[in-house]
Amino acid sequence: MTRRGAWIGVAIVVALSLARVAATYRVFAQTSDENIHLIAGYDILKHHSWTTDLHHPPLARVFFAIPFVNAPEPTGANRSVRGNELLFHGSYAGNLARMRIGNLLFLALAIIFVARWAMHLFSPEAGLLSAALFAMLPPVLAHGGLATTDMAVAAMMPFALDEVTRLAERPSWRRAAVTGIAIAAGVLSKYSFVAFFPAAAAVLLAVIWIRGRRNAPEIREKFLICGVLALVVAAALVWAGFGFSFEPLIRGLAEVRNHNATGHRNFLFGQLSWDGWWYYFPVALFFKTPISFLLLALTGCLLLARRRPEVPLIAAAILGVSMTSEINIGIRHILPVYAPLAIAAAAAILALPRLRIVSAVLVLWLLANGVIAHPDYLPWFNEFAPHPEKVLNDSNLDWGQDVLRLVRYTRDQRLTQISLLLITSADVDRLGFPPHATIKYGDKVHGWFVTSEMQIALHETHSPRAKKWLDDMIDGKPYTRIGKSIRVYRLD
């Protein structure tokens, strides 16, 4: 296969992936973070303010907010309310699509950069196959369809690592500048890049040095000089990206560090922890990744251990860094690991021509997972988790995405006097529900009662009294499932 043919194939993969993702826009309500990302991007564009929410850098958020720059100025009391004002001005479903369309750029770039990296390491065939495998993953399709920062960093990680590889192999001033651009784009995408990239780049450079490709002292010296130039370029672009100031970056990194130090509300196997679990992300990877992809990626990692050890080692470095985090709220936080794993999976297919039938079956299985899952890529789990709510929660399963489906269901069924106990950042009074009440722990409930898997998990683990209150209402009672995360009960 020629490189031109491979890139035509990649373009087809990108087009199909964007179409699949765009088809989900009007199905799902906003997830818990999207209104915050939107208003943060709006404030950057409209008011040149980078401090609305310091937890995330600005790159992706700006793209989410571009369609809203001419919207009426939101006047709410806090950022969540202000973000909702933007979303509920006019057509809510239409605004969701307008907000989310900006993330298509990062989904496309992620697929392209995975292909480009694989082509450089192996061949045009490997590039096309890696891109296709990456684009079939439900977690990739899920977070490519939301206005969050996770897909942006998943795109910039392979871009930056590929550029570091090229710079180490053939250092030049031009390559140093491009590497600096890639690093800056990563930092401006999500702060996890600051943790993942140094570890992955260190592994990559160690392998290149050990392999003996940079034995000549003058080449090593040129690489070091070019590396410094790349960092200078990156620093300058990051400074510009934060409004010609490092203050938002420094404050943002400090907030993320403090968040990690104080912990987060984490769920795993029905347990609650504010400190997380060191094995959380390996578990999430195991249950949220198609089994066929896991088999191909593991085989590829074993086959590449001698030929291209940087590929499995980079995946291990990203996963290893993630295991130090106490913020354990979703597979989305380790999306960058899928780039090297997709390349490893493609390498396995190409390295084992005698097992073509087995490879074809595994690829078809992977494709079928995504087709069957559509449009519910976000709450998708593999066959090892027949009851996902007993394994993982939060953005893995119930992130508020099914609330819009619930609105449509209540209208179709003409339900009245609904009691809501949901996870959502949306303004439920403006979504179009029939007469309803938002309830809390301890309230007496009769008639139609709606709750979700995350709320059930919260009450199951909050206290024995909270657990008993909810169990007395719903334990063993029949319910109607809305999407993958909401339950509708009829209580006496």
Which pLDDT value is given to residue 416?
87
The reply to whether 15 and 39 lie within a common domain is: no
pLDDT digits (tens, 9 = 90+) for 293-341: 999 999 999 999 999 999 999 999 999 999 999 999 999 999 999 999 9
Whether residue 42 lies inside any domain: the answer is: yes
Last residue of a domain, one of 58, 78, 100: 100
- Angle 59-62-63 from CA coordinates, rounded to 5°: 95
Phi-psi region of 334 (alpha: psi -120 to 50; beta: other; left: phi over 0): alpha
Which pLDDT value is given to residue 10?
98
Last residue of a domain, one of 50, 76, 100: 100
Q: Where are the beta strands (DSSP E) in 337-454?
A: 418-421, 436-438, 447-452
Q: How far apart are CA 100 and CA 97, in angstroms?
A: 5
The reply to whether 80 and 127 lie within a common domain is: no
Of 113, 71, 112, residue with least CA distance to 89 = 71
How many domains does the chain divide into?
3
Whether residue 397 lies inside any domain: the answer is: no
Whether residue 124 lies inside any domain: the answer is: yes
pLDDT digits (tens, 9 = 90+) for 247-268: 999 999 999 999 999 989 999 9
Which pLDDT value is given to residue 396?
98
The residues pairing with 481 across neighbouring beta strands, listed in sequence order, are 487
Of 29, 6, 71, residue with least CA distance to 420 = 29
pLDDT digits (tens, 9 = 90+) for 98-120: 999 999 999 999 999 999 999 99
pLDDT digits (tens, 9 = 90+) for 366-386: 999 999 999 999 999 999 999
Whether residue 441 lies inside any domain: the answer is: yes
Which pLDDT value is given to residue 345?
98
Q: How far apart are CA 207 and CA 163, in angstroms?
A: 15
pLDDT digits (tens, 9 = 90+) for 35-81: 999 999 999 999 999 999 999 999 999 999 999 999 999 999 899 99
Which pLDDT value is given to residue 462?
87
Of 376, 437, 433, 435, residue with least CA distance to 408 = 433
The reply to whether 356 and 469 lie within a common domain is: no
Whether residue 392 lies inside any domain: the answer is: no
pLDDT digits (tens, 9 = 90+) for 187-199: 999 999 999 999 9
pLDDT digits (tens, 9 = 90+) for 160-182: 999 999 999 999 999 999 999 99
Of 192, 119, 140, residue with least CA distance to 24 = 140
The reply to whether 114 and 218 lie within a common domain is: yes
Range of the domain at 118: 3-25+103-373
The reply to whether 183 and 80 lie within a common domain is: no
Of 325, 302, 314, 484, residue with least CA distance to 395 = 484
Q: Are 252 and 54 in contact (CB under 8 A)?
A: yes
Mean pLDDT estimate for the chain: 96
Largest CA distance in the chain: 81
213 has pLDDT over 90:
no
The reply to whether 59 and 113 lie within a common domain is: no
The reply to whether 55 and 179 lie within a common domain is: no
How confident is the model over 351-364, as a mean pLDDT?
93
Which pLDDT value is given to residue 407?
97
How much is the pTM?
0.96
**β-strands 436-438, 418-421 pairing:** parallel
The residues pairing with 419 across neighbouring beta strands, listed in sequence order, are 437, 449
The reply to whether 12 and 46 lie within a common domain is: no
Q: How far apart are CA 159 and CA 329, in angstroms?
A: 25
**Which tokens sit at 152?**
């942006």
Beta-carbon contacts of 207 under 8 Å, excluding residues fewer than 6 positions away, are: 309, 310, 313
Which pLDDT value is given to residue 492?
80
Q: Are 296 and 362 in contact (CB under 8 A)?
A: yes
Q: How far apart are CA 148 and CA 378, in angstroms?
A: 13
Last residue of a domain, one of 373, 389, 416: 373
**β-strands 480-482, 486-491 pairing:** antiparallel
Whether residue 384 lies inside any domain: the answer is: no
Predicted confidence band of residue 216 (pLDDT cuts 50, 70, 90): low
Whether residue 380 lies inside any domain: the answer is: no
Whether residue 389 lies inside any domain: the answer is: no
